[in-house]
């Protein structure tokens, strides 16, 4: 529940400046962690065919 409230708050304050992703993998050099919340560069269409990279976060 706290995570959902945090996501809602972050989406509200960030607006169109960034995307807030919930429990989605990100691609790092040696792993693909799945953090509870990730703030990534817009637009979200960048991530239709790939997970966000380190430079997107």
Burial of 47 (0-12, 13-18, 19+ CB in 10 A): middle
Cβ(36)–Cβ(22) under 8 Å? yes
Q: Which of 46, 1, 4 is nearest to 26 (CA)?
A: 46
Hey, what are 10's tokens? 């972050």
Q: What is the DSSP string of 36-54?
A: SEEEEESPGGGGSSSPPBG
What pLDDT is stored for residue 13 in this prediction? 97
Q: What is the pLDDT along the chain (57 residues), one digit of tens a residue?
A: 688 999 999 999 999 999 999 988 899 988 888 889 999 999 989 999 999 999 999
């Amino acid at each position: 529940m706290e995570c959902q409230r945090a996501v809602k708050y972050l989406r509200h304050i960030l607006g169109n400046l960034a995307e807030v992703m919930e429990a989605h993998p990100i691609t790092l050099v040696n792993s693909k962690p799945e953090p509870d919340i990730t703030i990534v560069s817009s637009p979200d269409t960048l991530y239709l065919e790939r997970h966000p990279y380190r430079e997107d976060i």
